[in-house]
Amino acid sequence: MTSKVYRIGVVGASSLAGKELSEELSESPLAASNVTLLEEEDDVAGRLAVAGDEPSFIQKLDKSSFEGMDFVFFADGVDSTKKHWQEARRANASIVDLTYALEGESEVLVMSPWIDEALGGKASKGTSPHLGTQAVIPAHPATVMLGMVAARIQSRFPVRTIAATVMEPASENGRAAMDEMHQQTVSLLSFQDVPKEQYDAQVSFNLLPALGAEAKVKLRSTAARIQSQYATLSNGSLPELALQLIQAPVFHGYVASVYLETSNPATVAEVESALAGDHIDIVTDESEAPSNLTAAGQEEIMVRVEAVARDAEKGTRFWLWLAADNLKLAAVHAIACAGELRRLRPSGKVQ
């Protein structure tokens, strides 16, 4: 498809997700677009940033900001999205919500074109955009990771069971969560009390399946979101996902330990062959194991496959170790979702 010139707004351009998205747009099929960086905060507006490959000043967000825009990506907080998305809607812009603020809104779809493709188009019609679709929520990065892996293997070997322990990085919850983890680390090394405003718990040097009652980071809500999105997008084509989400003491990158059982015996090589394709990088025993460090800056989901019964030629039980850069994966996947909406918007408003 030839590139067309669109007008794109990125709300929350100075956020971690917004900065990553702005950078990825310059390498995407939407690279020829005119990108406007937007922020609510007065102290951020006016700062010099990068939109695509070009330096650009962040503009103050107001009610007229969305006029003439084709796409608006919301990448800041939930409150900001809820406050402004109707303004973008009234301006007839296609909306891509990376904040999950629009969950539960009528006619707003959760979608993943990657999982849909891996399932051979068997995803629910309720997750496919149509002419009346104006707003979509790209699936959570962990949903994409787990859904892609299960769907790819399912295409060759029916999957009976999938269970995952997913490690959540601080950056998934924004700069405030990252700053608090950093401050906790510094405080602990200095034998001082740790701040707990975001997590209501010590997360530095620690692994937790649940956070404090007053935590602003909602670990259980995120786990429920991943499972719900997985079920919606698989549309009964995949087995139920058993999931445990763990808060990890890392700043960036998802890692996941996945147990998967197939109905028919397969070799590790056959499972790797089923997984191979766009968006997945197979890592063999001869290479360094996937980790949040090796995944940093990579667009692909890194996967290593091991048989539970290592001495058997074929088996039905496998361990998978996954890693992905959560911010980059979210940005690239969100752009892919916008690409699906673009098919319904054949020409931009800027000629």
Q: State pLDDT tens for residues 179-219.
A: 999 999 999 999 999 999 999 999 999 999 999 999 999 99
Q: State pLDDT tens for residues 255-267.
A: 999 999 999 999 9
CATH 3.40.50.720 intervals, the chain: 7-138+331-342
Q: What is the pLDDT of residue 183?
A: 97
The arithmetic mean of pLDDT across residues 158-169, rounded, is 98
Specify the fold of 7-138+331-342: Rossmann fold (3.40.50)
The arithmetic mean of pLDDT across residues 282-298, rounded, is 94
The per-type count for the chain, helices as H runs and strands as E runs, is 8, 15
Q: What is the pLDDT of residue 343?
A: 75
Highest mean pLDDT among 5-19, 53-67, 128-142: 5-19
Is the dihedral angle over the CA atoms 107, 111, 117, 120 positive or is it negative?
A: negative
> 176: Cβ–Cβ under 8 A, 6 or more apart, which residues?
198, 216
The arithmetic mean of pLDDT across residues 248-277, rounded, is 97
Q: What is the pLDDT of residue 309?
A: 86
- Share above pLDDT 70 across residues of the chain, in percent, rounded to a whole number: 89
Give this prediction's pTM.
0.92
The two beta strands, 135-138 and 254-266, are unpaired
Q: Cα(23)–Cα(344) distance, rounded to whole angstroms? A: 24
CATH number of 144-326: 3.30.360.10
Q: Cα(21)–Cα(328) distance, rounded to whole angstroms? A: 8
Separation of first and last alpha carbons in the chain: 17
Q: Cα(40)–Cα(42) distance, rounded to whole angstroms? A: 7
Mean of pLDDT over the chain: 90
Backbone angles phi, psi at 153, to 5 degrees: -65, -40
